[in-house]
Structure 1
Amino acid sequence: MGDVISTNLDEGKREMITARTNAVMAEFGRFYEQQYAVALFNSVRYEIEGGGNTQTQLLHRKDPLKNKSIFSGGLFQYLEESKKWRSRFLYVGDSYNISLYESKAAHDRGLHSKGVINCAGYRALTSMEEYLGLLNNSLSDTKAKVASAPFLKCPTQFPLILWHPYARHHYFCVMTEKEQKKWHAVFQDCVRHSNNGLSEECKVATPAFTDALRLYRQAKGHYGTWDLMCGNQAQILANLVMETLHPELKNLIVPRLKGKLQQRQRDWMLISDAVYRQVVSQTKTQHEALAQVCEVERPRLDSALRTDMDQIITSKEHVSGKIRALVLPRVEQLVRSKVQPYIHSILEALMEPTSRGFSEVRDILFRELVEVSKNTMNDRSSEKLGEHMDKISMLAFHPVKMQSCYEKMEALNLEGLQQRCDVSSPSVFIQRAQILMRQQMDNAVHTFEQLVHQSLDGHSGEDFCKIIQRCQDRVLKKYDYDSSTVRKKFFREALLQIIIPYMLKQLSPSCSPDLPKFKELIFEDFSRFILVENIFEEVVLQSVSKDIMMAVKEAAVQRRHNLYRDSMVLTNSDPNLHLLGEDTIDWAGQFGGVKGDRQGGEVANRKRKQIVSMIHLDGMPLPYESCQEVPGVDGIPEESEGQTEQDLETEKPVNPIQHVPIEKEPGSPDNGNPITELQIELHGKGLNFVETLGSSAHDVNVRNSETSYRTGGQRFALACSCGIFLF
């Protein structure tokens, strides 16, 4: 492996990679410094003038995954270095990063992991055919025989592959189809979480970064959505560099690779990963330095803003009026002829799968709450109530239980838009809607918990069922209101994200040459905070925002997708609810008699409660720490089912061939658990073979023309005349 990389990535090519990265970062840095001052102006103005969001009906909790982990279990991993399959123990914590260990014992002992996978930019695949299709596309210039065997042979029929356009691919496999479905749901959740964009808590740095990135790509002619705006700032910037560098390196290196197609594919993947790691390292260092320079400058800019805010606002409004008078006729003509006729069809395409997904969230929530009520009726002890409430508390973060909701959104079809409006793929909108589904489910569950917990004071077990029923009805009504508000906001943002880039692409050739003359109208002291390019985009946004608002309002009036009119949710109908707590309730500790994990350090981290459970079924072997079958999602009977965690750890797996317990060999966990001369018998599939595998709420404010939209999983804010950001 090392020879392939060192041979094809000599000192000259590495210097070329560094030079290209430096050039991109220098150009991006100029945009970032400009947008940082604008974002600071918008933030300070919002702080001074204030603004409001639509009042939500459901509660939000700050840290839902505290002392929780998502999933862990054993499967088989393919190691590139040795070209062998080996058993691995994977742990997915609350960060959604995937940690790989030699064994469960190594994890429990607190040993360092063998690697950590950050899933930003990845795709989770379950088919070798789909993976090979993506792989062959990466080397489309190479002529390959149709019957050529791939370089990777999976020992089972149930692969799990994490694919990335630039970084290293990761290969896993499991023994059963149900295991595959469970792991696939977990991997998809890791990808979804990692692709959710930057933190919106940073009211200056985040909008400055996203606007700078958008303007950089627009300067290169890319106006539409971007699938690879995911991960942290260093990863996003590395993807930006690789967007042009990767094809150029492929043209230089791939023709020089030797061997059969499969070997060339493998070699190119290793080279691409080495390049990507080098670029990420460089973008990380340079972005941190850039952010530090801007933060040092922030106090001076902040002081100037607060001193001259009124004059800056007046100056901006004056320039905005001049630009609007020039470009508005062209903008209105474009809206009438090329935008208005398509708004309703785009909205309908978005509404159908989104509404079905949110409806499925409500159905699952209702079934779970009914199940709690039924169980409480059968056993009215506080211990059992605490047990059931503890289970339901993490419903939103259970990938398997939420999978049916997410699948509804996968049906989104924007065919036709991808060419007309430069929409790269619907994945940007799919993942955003899925994240919103998870948030609404968690808000509903958390509100239910708080209501039940508040109502239990002074009541006996005989009243539990009535209390739960009453709380259930209240929460479902609140969910209906909030889900309507969230969906309408999502529709507005999605329409803006689709339409605004298209309009800018059409208008920029004729309007951009006229913009520089307006710089003369801006005082030099205010030129850091008022940019004519931003004002031009704000004028374009204002021109179409009214049509988008009207289209969404008309959809709400029709009630076809269970949307409510805005007038129905103007204020919070339950003010006392927001006096309740925001923290997660320890049901097991308060009602079940089980103390929560209070240990510090790594020990507490390793003993966190796992949201997705592994269930040991009688009569089914547990070789090599592989996870077991998944219970039906309809019943959702997760979490141990009568067997304690200690019992699971002490139970010895059974050899599937000799039907005797497998004794664990002592020694260093670094030795691993290789699959050596293992006969893998696929029961029920008619296959028997031996493999020897080696040994190692926000509404558009027309008055202030303020709105936001998302590109590539991250919200882009266009602050107009007022410049208020509503997050």
Structure 2
Amino acid sequence: MGDVISSNLDEGKREMITARTSAVMAEFGRFYEQQYAVALFNSVRFEIEGGGNVQTQLLHRKDPLKNKSIFSGGLFQYLEESKKWRSRFLYVGDSYNIALYESKAAHDRGLHSKGVINCAGYRALTSMEEYLELLNNSLSDPKAKVASAPFLKCPTQFPLILWHPYARHYYFCVMTEKEQTKWHAVFQDCVRHTNNGLSEESKVSTPAFTDALRLYRQAKGHYGTWDLMCGNQAQILANLVMETLHPELRNLIVPRLKGKLQQRQKDWMLISDAVYRQVLSQTRTQHEALVQVCEVERPRLDAALRTDMDQIITSKEHVSGKIRASVSPRVEQLVRSKVQPYIHSILEALMEPTSRGFSEVRDILFRELVEISKNSVNDGSREKLGENMDKLSMLAFHPVKMQSCYEKMETLNLEGLQQRCDVSSPSVFIQRAQILMRQQMDDAVHTFEQLVHQSLEGNSGEDLCKTVQRCQDRVLKKYDYDSSTVRKKFFREALLQIIIPYMLKQLSPSCSTELPNFKELIFEDFSRFILVENIFEELVLQSVSKDIMMAVKEAAVQRRHNLYRDSMVLTNSDLNLHLLGENTIDWAGHSEGVKGERQGGEMANRKRKQIVSMIQLDGMPFLYESCQEVPGVDGIPEENEGQVGQDLATEKSLRPVEHVPIEKGPPSPDSINQIRDLINPVLEFVNTGEKDDSQLTNGMFPLEEGDEVKHITSVMETVPRESPEKADTKLDTTSSEQTLEEQQRVSAIESAIHQIEIAIQEDPSDHLSDGAVDSDGELAQTSTNSSPHRHDDSGFQSPANENIEEAEPQPITDDEVVDTDLVMLTLVEGVKTCIDLDVKASEKNPEIETTADRVLL
């Protein structure tokens, strides 16, 4: 592997890569310094003039993932160095970076990871066919010989692949389809989070960076959206360099590679990863130096802006009027002929999947809140409510639970726009909408938490179920309003991202030569804050913004996608709600009350809570060293996928089974087979009143085929059949008769059982099979068909083993019984006497348990 890289990336090529990266960074730096001053001007002007957005109804929390981790578990990774599959423990923290450890023990001990994957720019794949298609698109050679062996031999049929156009690829595999589905959802969430764009907290550096990047690409003739604008600034700049450098190196190096197509593809991936890492290291260093230079200059620029703000604004408006008069006719003609006819069709294509995704978010939220209401009815304690709320708080960041919402957005189809409006792919809009869905879910959950917490503190004596129900209704109404506002804003921004680049591309040939002439109208002192290119783009944006706003308003009036007009709901309508805190409520500590307060310091340092349940449970062996040692499917405990209406709790306790009145015992035996059953009992029943895990659900002990028991153990125990008051009255009136009859019944039963034992012991070899064991031996072990505990896929475990199969008693064939007629003659009179006395006693005193109730015949 090292020979391939070193032989194809010699010192000369590495110097060429460094020089090309420096050239791109120098040109980008020029745009960045210009846009930094403009962004600072806009920030200071906004600060002075004021302004703000529409007040939201839902609350927002700043750090929802504090002391939380997303997911962790074991799977198998293919190592290109050794060309073997090894077991790995993956940990996904709140940063959404994937850390790889040799084992779970290595992670728990705090050892260094084997590597960390930043998923920016990656794609999560679940099939080798899809991966090979992307690979062939990046490097194909019709003249090359195709190898007969597959590109990568996966030990299971459930692969997971992280693909990147430039960086290293990662190969994983799991044992079952459920594991693959869960891991794929987690990987997609990691990609979605890291591709979310730059932080909006910086009001100067972030706008300066995005505008500089857009202007740089437009200068190269690239308009429209860009798929690789993902990750941090250094990663975006590395992608910018590789956009032109990668094809050039491929044409230079690939023809020199030897071997079949698949081997050449593998070698080229290694070379591409080495180039990408070199470029990324250089862009990170040079970008930090560029930002440092601008930050040093910022105080001087800020002082000049605040001193001459009025004059700068007046000068900009004067230049804007001149440019508008020059280009306005061409802009309006373009809007009327090539933009307005397509706005509604573009908007409809965006609205359909987006609205279905937000509707799915509301449905999931509603189901989870209803579950909490049900739990508050069944168990009205605040401790139980605290447990449920603690699990609900992370619903928005549960990739598996939210997957159905994200899938609705995957159906977005912009076919036709990609060629007409230079839209590279809809992935930019899909990921943005999915991030907004997650944000709205978290805001709704956080608002519900705050309302419940506020209600519990103010009304301690109020019914808990009513409190939860009232908070639920308020949150759903607020979600309806806020989701409508968020979607309308998303539609406007998406339309601008599609239309504005198209208009700039159409107007650039005729307007680009005229714009430099307007620079003479700008004073030299203000030239850093007023740029004609920015003014021209603002005019183009203003020309189409009115049509976009009208299209969105018309869609809101139609109410086809549950969109509301902003005037229908007053802003700041719930002032008391916005006075609540932004911090996350610690429901676990809150439910523990005073104990949690005393141990506050200890609880603050407790182990991070994982949002998604682990697939590989603690205690299961996971010490596999190669693909040859991959366990079978039955070796890994599975978890049920998230079910509709399932409770948020990861575990639920079994509810006590209600006592059912005992039916009347069976009558006396009337046939030979019934008497044989008395002689050769199949099961031993000991009514101890204690729960034994080895018993089946009906209280029986499972038997293997051919097994029997030697003895029947009967425990005499009186079980009242009626209420205690009635039982006490009847027992007082018949105590003397009951004592005499009870002694007679016991004596008859003991005599019958004694005769049975004597009859059986006369010839054990004739009555017992070879596999019989003593009742105190291994007979109490559970059957192999007993259903194991199942675990919920989404971190919520089912209430109990609902489908445990019952092992039926093994029948005794006629071949196994030796002339039982001799035994029947001896026993029949004793048995009839026992049953007759039993029936008479039950008729006089019904609450006394009969022999059939005590002994399982």
Which of the five TM-score ranges fits, normalised by the shorter chain? 0.7 to 0.9
**Counterparts in 2 of 1:201-212, with a 5 A limit?**
201-212=201-212
Q: Letter of the aligned partner of 1:631 in structure 2? A: E
The residue matched to 1:467 in structure 2 has which SS? helix
1:85-234 matches, within 5 Å, as: 85-144=85-144, 148-234=148-234
Task: Output the CA distance in 1 between the equivalents of 2:537 and 2:413.
Answer: 28
CA–CA distance in structure 1, aligned partners of residues 175 and 363 of structure 2: 32
3-state SS of 2:571 partner: coil
* C-alpha distance in 1 between matches for 2:405 and 2:57: 22
- Within 2, Cα distance between the matches of 1:141 and 1:595? 66
Structure 1 residues 233 and 152 mapped into 2: Cα distance closer, same or farther (>3 Å)?
same
2:562 corresponds to 1:562: yes
- The CA deviation at 1:629 is 2.7
**Residues 1:210 and 1:636: Cα distance change in structure 2 (over 3 Å):** farther
Show the counterpart of 1:396. 396
Match of 2:644 in 1: 634
Q: Partners of 1:576 and 1:407 in 2: how far apart? A: 36
- How far does residue 490 in structure 1 lie from its aligned partner after superposition? 0.1
Give the number of the structure whose alpha-carbon radius of gyration is greater: 2
* Residue 707 (structure 2) aligns with: none
Equivalent position amino acid for 2:651 in 1: E
Q: Which residue of 2 aligns with 1:421?
A: 421
Deviation, structure 1 residue 634: 2.2
Q: Structure 1 residues 615, 85: closer, same or farther in 2, change over 3 A?
A: closer
Q: Tell me if the contact between 1:612 and 1:638 (Cα under 8 Å) persists in the aligned partners.
A: no
5+ unaligned residues in a row in structure 2: which ranges? Answer: 625-635, 654-857
8 Å contact from structure 1 (residues 176, 629) kept in 2: no
Change (3 A) 1:585 1:259: same
Q: Secondary structure at the match of 2:513?
A: helix
The farther-off stretch of 449-458 and 336-345 is 449-458
Deviation of 1:204 (Å): 0.2
Q: Is 1:409 aligned to residue 409 of structure 2?
A: yes
Distance (whole Å) between structure 1 residues aligned to residue 152 and residue 602 of structure 2: 42
What is the DSSP-based 3-state SS (H/G/I as helix, E as strand, rest coil) of the residue aligned with 2:542?
helix
Partner of 2:237: 237
Distance 1:366 1:145 in 2: 57
On the 8 A contact 1:179/1:630 being kept in 2, the answer is: no
Task: Give the 3 Å change call, closer, same or farther, for CA 481–599 of structure 1 in structure 2.
Answer: same
* Deviation of the 1:592 alpha carbon: 4.2
> In structure 2, what is the Cα distance between the partners aligned to 1:426 and 1:375?
42
Distance across 1 between alignment mates of 2:615 and 2:241: 45
Moved more, 257-266 or 27-36: 257-266
Q: CA deviation at 1:418?
A: 0.2
Letter paired with 1:178 = K
Question: How large is the Cα RMSD of the aligned pairs?
Answer: 2.2
Q: Spell out the pairing of 1:324-723 with structure 2 (5 A cutoff).
A: 324-457=324-457, 459=459, 463-592=463-592, 595=596, 604=605, 607-614=607-614, 623-624=622-623, 628-636=638-646, 640-641=650-651
SS in 2 for 1:86: strand
Q: Any conservation in 2 of the 1:381–1:461 contact (CA below 8 Å)?
A: no
Residues 49 and 350 (structure 1), Cα distance of their counterparts in 2 relative to 1, 3 Å cut: same
Q: Is the contact between residue 146 and residue 262 of structure 2 (CA under 8 Å) also seen in structure 1?
A: no
What is the TM-score of this pair, normalised by structure 1? Answer: 0.86
Q: Which residue of 1 aligns with 2:729?
A: none
Aligned-pair identity in percent equals: 88
Instruction: Give, in angstroms, the shift of residue 573 of structure 1.
Output: 1.3
Q: Deviation at 1:572?
A: 2.0
Q: 1:61–1:443: 8 Å Cα contact kept in structure 2? A: yes
Does the 8 A contact of 1:412 with 1:426 survive in 2?
yes
AA aligned opposite 1:70: I
Determine helix, strand or coil for the equivalent of 2:74: strand
Measure, in 2, the Cα distance between the counterparts of 1:527 and 1:564.
43
Unaligned runs of 5+ in 1: 644-727
Tell me how far apart the structure 2 counterparts of residues 630 and 116 of structure 1 sit (CA, whole Å): 29
Equivalent position of 1:701 in the other structure: none
- The match for 1:304 is 304
Q: 1:143 to 1:136 in 2, by over 3 A?
A: farther
Letter in 2 for 1:199: S
SS where residue 209 of structure 2 aligns? helix
In the other structure, the counterpart of 2:270 is 270
CA distance in 1, matches of 2:374, 2:30: 61
Aligned counterpart, 1:679: none
Q: TM-score, normalization: structure 2? A: 0.73
Answer yes or no: is the 8 Å Cα contact 2:197–2:230 preserved in 1: yes
How many Å separate the matches in 2 of 1:566 and 1:6?
62
Q: Deviations over 1:573-602 (max 9, x none)?
A: 11110001111111111114685997799x
CA distance in 2, matches of 1:401, 1:413: 24
Query: What's the counterpart of residue 840 of structure 2?
Result: none
C-alpha deviations, 1:532-585, integer Å up to 9, x for none? 010010110000000000000000000000000121134121111000111111
Seen in structure 2, the aligned counterparts of structure 1 residues 599 and 27 have a Cα distance that, compared at 3 Å, is: farther
Q: In the TM superposition, what whole-angstrom CA distance separates every residue of 1:204-251 from its partner, at most 9, and x where no partner exists?
A: 000000000000000000011000000000000000000000000000
Amino acid at match of 1:391: K
CA distance in 1, matches of 2:489, 2:57: 15
1:598–1:30 CA distance, 2 compared to 1 (3 A): farther
In structure 2, distance between residues paired with 1:270 and 1:630: 39
> For residue 524 of structure 1, what is the amino acid of its counterpart?
E
Structure-1 residue corresponding to 2:26:
26
User: Residues 144 and 639 (structure 1 numbering): CA distance in 2 closer, same or farther, change over 3 Å?
Assistant: farther
Could you report, residue by residue, the CA deviation over 1:385-437 in whole angstroms, capped at 9, with x for unpaired residues?
Answer: 11111110000000000000000000000000000000000000000000000
Letter in 1 for 2:542: Q
- What's 2:780 paired with? none
How far the C-alpha of 1:642 sits from its partner, in A, is 6.0
AA paired with 1:632?
G
Contact between 1:74 and 1:627, CA under 8 Å: does it hold in 2?
A: no
3-state DSSP of counterpart to 2:159? strand
For 1:297, the aligned partner's letter is E
Residues 538 and 438 of structure 1: CA distance in aligned 2, closer, same or farther (over 3 Å): same
SS in 1 for 2:55: coil
Indicate conservation of the 8 Å contact 2:96/2:190, yes or no. Answer: yes
CA contact (8 A) 2:74 2:615 kept: no
Q: Per-residue deviation at 1:151?
A: 2.8
Shift of 1:66: 0.2
Please state how far the C-alpha of 1:462 moved relative to its aligned partner. Answer: 6.5
Q: What SS does structure 2 have at the residue aligned with 1:380?
A: coil
> Cα 1:636–1:136, aligned 2, differ >3 Å: closer, same or farther?
farther
State the Cα distance separating 1:614 from its structure 2 match.
Answer: 2.4
SS, match of residue 130 in structure 1: helix
Please give the alpha-carbon distance, in whole angstroms, between the structure 2 residues aligned to 1:220 and 1:509: 14
Deviates more, 1:308-317 or 1:141-150: 141-150
Contact 1:75 1:627 in 2 (8 A): no
What SS does the aligned partner of 1:91 have? strand
Is this contact kept in 1: 2:161–2:170, CA < 8 A?
yes
Distance 1:592 1:156, change over 3 A: farther
SS in 1 for 2:153: coil
